[in-house]
Amino acid sequence: MLASSFSPPPQAAKIIPWLPWMRRALSLAALGEGRTSPNPLVGAVVLDAAGQLVGEGFHARAGEPHAEVGALAQAGARARGGTLVVTLEPCCHHGRTPPCTEAVIGAGIARVVVALADPDPRVAGGGIAQLRAAGLEVIEAVAEEQALRLNRAFVHRVRTGRPLGILKWAMSLDGRTALPNGQSQWISGPAARGWVHGLRARCDAVIVGGGTVRADAPLLTSRGRRVPEPLRVVLSRSLDLPETAQLWDQAVAPTLVAHGPIGASAQRKGEARAMATCALLDRLGVERLELAQCEPAPLLEALAARGCNRVLWECGPELAAAALRQGCVQELAAVIAPKLLGGLAARTPLGNLGLEGLAQVQSWRELERRDLGSDLLWELGIPEPPADHAGLTTMGVGSARPGSAP
């Protein structure tokens, strides 16, 4: 009896009927995963005036038509008087394609249902305002949380000027990433390694430090799951890198070697080695990027400027700790193998985080926990800084920058 007398609050009553269509639009949006950067993932459906599905679309790649435009083209004249259900606020600016608001108004759409307002300052509510000014009904915040989760990398990049960072490592049950003698391949099983290839395919760049290049000679590709492959990035201070490495083969995937200023002090120890590596990389056609400081944060700013929304840190403990300390990691992916490696001197996933008291340590939020063959995958998201610590770089990750990951 109680259930039948319940009536949802007015805002919820407006939203609920559109949830199934928005879920459909969200699953369309996800089809573009790994290919739309620097753009967001967007999906759209068009219903005619009688509520029948007449068009669907998703943003497949930067530079290609936006989701709304594809869905409206499929609907044609049947869109007149109908509803557009779209996961992100339609754009209202001239970019690589004309404003979507013009296409929506021109198609005679009567109602627009939106999941998430576009944080891009060129839009930021302007698209919705334009639609309302043209007399269209706009219903906002339908499945907003799911849409935010789907586009968290894009939102993070727009708000902070850095791509969202995922730090991934594989370790034994006793927290070791190598035997005391340094042997580390492979701790995790084939299912976990296959999952990592899929994870790389969802990222725009995969980053390691010089230590991992020297120790593991990694390939760092998605094994063809993403075309083109994500950018492989090596951050090195010394540029003491091997002459032959799988990463130097540019036919397989592009590689970027980022380093600090060189040549300023030719007498400095190791400078000759650095110069020789630069010459080698230039000869092999491996791109180099000279950063003012060889640190994770400026590297991420450079990668954001190149259109990266999401990067994967696949480095060893030294660079991983630096990335955490500089607020460059918003998500963790730990693969835990049911094995014991032991050894007091054996490597662990992280170097020093600079913590001085347990009160500074925060718990990461669980995003997902599941089996990968006999291994366990535990994915976690950045902890919210406690109110009284706001502005502090707690555990090095609660960056004081505005708008850390949603």
Ligand X SMILES: NC(=O)c1ccc[n+]([C@@H]2O[C@H](COP(=O)([O-])OP(=O)(O)OC[C@H]3O[C@@H](n4cnc5c(N)ncnc54)[C@H](OP(=O)(O)O)[C@@H]3O)[C@@H](O)[C@H]2O)c1
Binding-site member from 39, 130, 160, 177 for ligand X (CB under 6 A):
177
**Vertex 277: Cα angle to 273 and 281 (nearest 5):** 175
Confirm or reject binding of residue 396 to ligand X (CB under 6 A): no
DSSP codes, 187-228 = SS-HHHHHHHHHHHHT-SEEEEEHHHHHHH------TTSSSS
Residue among 184, 149, 147, 142 at smallest CA distance from 164: 149
Q: Select the residue interacting with ligand X from 32, 40, 82, 210 (CB under 6 A).
A: 210
The nearest distance, CB 63 to ligand X, in angstroms, is 33
Cβ-based nearer residue to ligand X, 141 or 284? 284
Closest approach, Cβ 302 to ligand X, in A, equals 13
Our finding on whether 238 is near ligand X (CB under 6 A) is yes
Cβ 105 vs Cβ 79: under 8 Å: no
If one asks whether residue 322 binds ligand X (CB under 6 A), the answer comes out as yes
Kindly write down the DSSP assignment for every residue of 7-54, as one continuous string: ---HHHHHHGGGHHHHHHHHHHHGGGTTTSTTSPP-EEEEE-TTS-EE
Using alpha carbons, select from 191, 282, 284, 207 the residue that is nearest to residue 244. Answer: 284
Contact (Cβ atoms closer than 8 angstroms) between residue 317 and residue 349: yes
User: Is 165 near ligand X (CB under 6 A)?
Assistant: no
Complete edge-to-edge strand list for the sheet that includes strand 375-381: 287-290, 255-259, 231-235, 205-209, 310-313, 164-172, 331-337, 375-381, 365-372
Residue 294 or 397 having the CB closest to ligand X? 294
Residue 237 binds to ligand X (criterion: CB under 6 A): yes
The reply on whether position 209 binds ligand X by CB under 6 A is: yes
Q: 46: which strand partners?
A: 55, 84
Smallest separation, CB 188 to ligand X (Å):
8
Query: What's 248's DSSP letter?
Result: G
Q: Which residue has the tokens 């627009």?
A: 112
Which residues are catalytic, by number? 68
Out of 71, 123, 166, 315, the only residue in the binding site for ligand X (CB under 6 A) is: 315
Site for ligand X contains 211 (CB under 6 A): yes
Q: Quick one: 102 or 318, whose CB is closer to ligand X?
A: 318
Q: Which residue's CB is nearer to ligand X, number 97 or number 246?
A: 246
CA 13 to chain centre: 33
Torsions phi, psi for 283 (to 5 deg): -65, -35
Q: Which of 58, 169, 195, 248 binds ligand X (CB under 6 A)?
A: 169
Considering only 69, 235, 300, 395, the residue that binds ligand X (CB under 6 A) is 235
Q: Is 246 in the site for ligand X (CB under 6 A)?
A: no
CB of 283 to ligand X, least distance (A): 19
Beta carbon of residue 93, minimum distance to ligand X (angstroms, whole number): 37
233 binds ligand X (CB under 6 A): no
Nearest to ligand X of 81, 190 (CB atom)? 190
Which residues contact residue 303 at a Cβ distance below 8 angstroms, ignoring those fewer than 6 apart?
Answer: 162, 163, 204, 205, 231, 233, 311
d(CA 224, CA 214): 24
Does 327 bind ligand X (CB under 6 A)? Our answer is: no
Told to check if 281 binds ligand X by CB under 6 A, we report: no
The residue range among 17-25, 80-88, 150-158, 312-320 that interacts with ligand X, by the rule CB under 6 A, is: 312-320
- Binding footprint of ligand X, residue count (CB under 6 A): 30
Q: Does 295 bind ligand X (CB under 6 A)?
A: yes
Peptide bond into 296 cis (omega under 30): no
User: Where does this chain bind ligand X (CB under 6 A)?
Assistant: 169-171, 177-178, 182, 184, 208-212, 215-216, 235-238, 240, 294-295, 314-320, 322, 347
